């Protein structure tokens, strides 16, 4: 009887070790051991489609019709995703990762079904016709890398106003609004600092969308709350399990104790 109980104790203790032990973490740990991403490969992929600064990404939108553009952009993003799946991104913020975000926003604005895409397509022929005019809107070289946030925001304002004015002059007020929305969405996604959006001017919906990041329109707060809830659920389940096991062990230990002393 005593032997049997000891065996059960041993069995339960080992089970406990298995549940709380390191077997699962070793898998996670292995996944974490990715090598750093090869910057040159990424840069080449970005350069291939001319994603070299915010203006160049905006430039893409006026170069060719939405359909061929989206094909090109999605093929490029696919290659980038493939690379990123197997390597560790550098410490953020990183210029190349910021540019990838800008390209993703371009895709989201023009290549997924939305009212905005319709509006953009409606004015595309005019954007295309006057595309070389937008060259005037280029910021000073490497403006997004300036160490002074005020300089960045001033440049940002100048660029977005320029796109607005040039589009307004040639394609009308409505087209100007559409172009400005695209410009703001793309530049916001690339910059790591926040410029006063009111000063630059955008629709509030877009600002919300951007705050939530490219994953969706859910507000940041909602997402955080969701995460917290998930964590609590997992934690309480784990605790229940743990308590259950501890009771069992305690019971066996007690029984053994009684046997020994009797």
Of the residues 56, 111, 126, 207, which one makes contact with ligand NAG according to CB under 6 A: 56
Of the residues 37, 55, 99, 100, which one makes contact with ligand NAG according to CB under 6 A: 55
Our finding on whether 158 is near ligand NAG (CB under 6 A) is no
DSSP conformation letters of the chain: -HHHHHHHHHHHHHHHHHHHSSHHHHHHHHHH-PEEP-HHHHHHHHHHTT-SSHHHHHHHHHHS-HHHHHHHHHHHHHHHHHHHHTEEPPSSS-HHHHHHHHHHHHHHHHHS--HHHHHHHHHHHHHHHTGGGGGGG--STTGGG-S-HHHHHHHHHHHHHHHHHHHHHHH-HHHHHHHHHHHHHHHHHH-SS---HHHH---HHHHHHHHT-TT-SS-HHHHHHHHHHHHHHHHHHHHHHHHHHHHHHHHHHHHHHHHHH-
Provide, rounded to whole angstroms, the least separation between the CB of residue 59 and ligand NAG. Answer: 4
Among residues 135 and 239, whose Cβ is nearest to ligand NAG? Answer: 135
Of the residues 138, 146, 161, 255, which one makes contact with ligand NAG according to CB under 6 A: 138
Residues 160-189 vs ligand NAG: string with x where CB under 6 A?
------------------------------
Binding residues for ligand NAG, total number by CB under 6 A: 7
Stretch that binds ligand NAG, among 49-57, 118-126, 141-149, 236-244 (CB under 6 A): 49-57
Which residue has its beta carbon closest to ligand NAG?
Answer: 59
122 preceded by cis ω (within 30°)?
A: no
Our finding on whether 234 is near ligand NAG (CB under 6 A) is no
Of the residues 51, 59, 110, 181, which one makes contact with ligand NAG according to CB under 6 A: 59
Among residues 66 and 212, whose Cβ is nearest to ligand NAG? Answer: 66
Q: Terminal CA-to-CA distance of the chain, rounded, Å? A: 13
Our finding on whether 47 is near ligand NAG (CB under 6 A) is no
62-81 binders of ligand NAG (CB under 6 A): 63
Our finding on whether 119 is near ligand NAG (CB under 6 A) is no
- Applying CB under 6 A, which residues contact ligand NAG? 50, 55-56, 59, 63, 135, 138
């Amino acid at each position: 009887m005593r032997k049997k109980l000891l065996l059960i104790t041993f069995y339960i203790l080992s089970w406990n070790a298995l549940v709380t032990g390191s077997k699962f973490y070793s898998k996670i740990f292995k996944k974490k051991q990715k090598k750093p991403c090869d910057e040159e490969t990424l840069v080449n992929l970005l350069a291939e489609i001319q994603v070299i600064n915010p203006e160049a990404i905006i430039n893409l939108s006026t170069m060719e019709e939405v359909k061929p553009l989206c094909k090109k952009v999605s093929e490029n993003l696919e290659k980038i995703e493939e690379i990123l799946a197997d390597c560790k991104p550098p410490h953020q913020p990183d210029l190349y990762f910021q540019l990838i975000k800008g390209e993703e926003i371009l895709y989201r604005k023009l290549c997924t079904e939305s009212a905005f895409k319709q509006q953009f397509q409606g004015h595309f022929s005019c954007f295309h016709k006057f595309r070389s005019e937008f060259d005037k809107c280029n910021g000073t070289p490497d403006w997004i890398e300036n160490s002074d946030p005020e300089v960045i925001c001033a440049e940002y304002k100048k660029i977005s106003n320029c796109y607005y004015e040039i589009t307004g002059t040639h394609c009308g007020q409505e087209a100007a609004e559409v172009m400005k929305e695209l410009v703001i969405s793309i530049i916001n996604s690339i910059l790591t600092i926040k410029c006063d959006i009111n000063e630059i001017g955008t629709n509030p919906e877009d600002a919300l969308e951007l705050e939530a990041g490219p994953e969706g329109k859910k507000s940041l707060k909602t997402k955080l709350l969701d995460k917290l809830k998930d964590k609590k659920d997992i934690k309480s389940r784990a605790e229940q399990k743990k308590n259950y096991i501890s009771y069992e062990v305690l019971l066996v230990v007690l029984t053994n104790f009684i046997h020994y002393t009797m």
